[in-house]
Amino acid sequence: MVRKFALYNGNIHTMNPAAPQAEAVGIVEGRIVAVGTNDEVRAAVGGGESLDARGRTVVPGMIDAHLHFLSLSLDLSRVQLLGVQSIEAATARAAERAHNSPPGEWISGGGWNYNFLHDNRWPTKLDLDLRISAHPVAFASQDHHSLWVNSRALEVAGITRETPDPPDGLIMRDADGEPTGMLIEGAMRPVREAIPVPTPAGVETALRAGMREANRLGLTGAGSMEGPDALVALQRLRATGGMTLRIYQSIPADLLDHAIALGLHSGFGDEWLRLGHLKIFSDGALGSRSALMLEPYAGEPDNYGIAVRTTENLRDLIRTAAQHGIASCIHAIGDAANRLLLDIFDEARANGLGPGLRHRIEHAQLLTPQDIGRFARLGVIPSMQPIHCTSDMFGIDRWWGDRGSFAYVFETLRRSGATLAFGSDAPVDNLSPLAGIHAAVTRQNAAGLPEGGWYPAERLSAYHALEAYCAGAAYASGEEAIKGTLEPGKLGDLVVLSQDILAIPGPEILHTEAEATVVGGEVVYGS
């Protein structure tokens, strides 16, 4: 029996410039067969299941171009510190979890942000030690480039005063040379490796919960930046038909040789699970003040951030991957890191390397005026997270000063001809695409600050912000032929919203919800 589904009586924004509005959409066997009037869709679909939108706004299924899906899914059951404003509040949550956990069990989680802590200092192991002694504790910062641990965690990981700083990281120390409990970049590795790996059953349970949460927020697809453990778990879920979120999975840089040996390339897979770009890190992050800068951080004349790979290593990775049909997506926060990558992509283009590959710079947070136009010119996609803008803006004012006027330049990049792809970087930040659209449109946080928006000239229209979560994200994964707009031939992925985000004032977008999410013609959230 042919599976049929139709949605009628909708205020449908198709995001297809050739036919931008419709009132109905019909889906047969997971693919859209008709978009138009109620009568046109009835004629094309006939019987089957139907959904009366009752005038509600309908948009294409939204795609988060950059997150860490397994981490997000596992974090749903861990200690959540996103938004905490004091070290005391964070340690209280840790102590509560420890009280309900067997002695010796790891207490993990994260989300704290140095720039939001009223204490105006880095957290230390002593803050945790005062409340917790029988458990190792590890809390990632919001940007996941710093790790706050207690003494027990340092002991389990084998980190002492004699432990040297790794080439790509920093062990913060007190005046006597003792580790303070704050680990930056590569220095986090021993602790991360010491934390027990969840069981396969636990991972599957977490992934299902993560997909339910993503569907609840209006997401039908995601680009996940993770390793082989996530890919293995997703393959198991795919085999059982348990996926309700389409995943575009990156290839870790340290596994490039293995991917090449297997003959893998960007785009390998199917409409549910596909391999994507080679994921590389070039620098750190703002919150840890490790993003690579052309000029030092304000008040820290010797701090230019951290280059986590040499220029030659980055060049070799990008070149080798491209020669084997693998595009690269590279994390770059600081202006120096972004310029370096654009230079490398410029060299590759001049040498005719990997024609047709859609390289991406992930985050692209701080640029110089002379580098902004290079994205469109080189065909490099700025894969950005607008929710980071409203999380980082006050930290940017503090640490980057006037350079902040060239941070998160959404509108300038769009006008230059670059294709924007938006995501959340969850669990680093809020997974909700509607919160991300609100941030891009208003450049204000949930409290409406700053008044008028932070560098308001870079605000996007709601249409262009939604486009970056739909067509832009689909283009960034090379899937624009099957995703991103509502038109015949494409996957039957759509979302019913409680308000028309293209018509309401920007601040109201934050109060909009997904009332139903449809993936492949199946209602996976709502009714």
Peptide bond into 427 cis (omega under 30): yes
CA–CA separation, 452 vs 442, rounded Å?
8
What does the domain layout of the chain look like in residue ranges? Answer: 4-55, 77-194
Q: Would you list the DSSP string of 417-461? A: T---EE---TTSS---HHHHHHHHHH---TT--STT-SSGGGPPP
- Three-class SS state of 26: strand
User: How far lies 434's CA from each of 42, 68, 437, 471, 497, in Å?
Assistant: 31, 18, 5, 16, 10
Listing from the earlier edge strand, what are the strands of the sheet with 522-526? 21-22, 11-13, 57-60, 494-497, 514-519, 522-526
Do residues 142 and 162 lie in contact, with contact meaning Cβ atoms separated by under 8 Å?
A: no
CA–CA separation, 6 vs 39, rounded Å?
11
Q: Is 120 left (phi over 0), alpha (psi -120 to 50) or beta?
A: left
CATH of the domain spanning 77-194: 3.10.310.70
Locate 58 and state its tokens. Answer: 């309908």
pLDDT of residue 2: 64
pLDDT of residue 1: 42
**Angle 93-99-101 from CA coordinates, rounded to 5°:** 105
Q: Is 253 left (phi over 0), alpha (psi -120 to 50) or beta?
A: alpha
Which residues are within 8 A (CB) of 478 and not within 5 positions of it... i.e. 6 or more apart? 266, 267, 358
**189 strand-pairing partners:** none
**179 strand-pairing partners:** 173
Fold assignment, 4-55? Urease, subunit C; domain 1 (2.30.40)
CA–CA separation, 315 vs 321, rounded Å?
10
Do residues 325 and 265 lie in contact, with contact meaning Cβ atoms separated by under 8 Å?
A: yes
Per-residue pLDDT tens, the chain, 527 aa: give them: 468 999 999 999 999 999 999 999 999 999 999 999 999 999 999 888 899 999 999 999 999 999 999 989 988 888 889 889 999 999 999 999 998 888 899 999 888 988 888 898 999 999 999 999 889 999 999 888 899 999 999 999 999 999 999 998 999 999 999 999 999 999 999 999 998 888 888 899 999 999 999 999 999 999 999 999 999 999 999 999 899 999 999 999 999 999 999 999 999 999 999 999 999 999 999 988 999 999 999 999 999 999 999 999 999 999 999 999 999 999 999 999 999 999 999 998 888 877 789 999 999 999 999 999 999 999 999 999 999 999 999 999 999 999 999 999 999 999 999 999 999 999 989 999 999 999 999 999 999 999 999 999 999 999 999 999 999 999 999 999 999 999 999 999 999 999 999 999 999 999 999 999 999 999 999 97
pLDDT of residue 190: 95
Helix (H) or strand (E) holding 514: strand 514-519
pLDDT of residue 53: 96
Locate 303 and state its tokens. Answer: 């701090």
Q: For the packed helices 433-442 and 462-469, what is the interaxial angle rounded to 10 degrees?
A: 140
pLDDT of residue 350: 82
Q: What does pTM read for this prediction?
A: 0.87
Please, how many CA atoms are within 13 Å of residue 430, restricted to the half-sphere of its CB?
20
Q: Would you list the DSSP string of 352-384? A: T-STT---EEEE--B--HHHHTHHHHHT-EEEE
Do residues 60 and 16 lie in contact, with contact meaning Cβ atoms separated by under 8 Å?
A: no
pLDDT of residue 120: 85
Residue among 510, 502, 505 at smallest CA distance from 438: 510
Classify residue 93 as exposed, middle or buried by CB count within 10 Å of its CB (0-12, 13-18, 19+): middle
CA–CA separation, 105 vs 344, rounded Å?
45
User: How far lies 124's CA from each of 154, 179, 480, in Å?
Assistant: 12, 9, 47
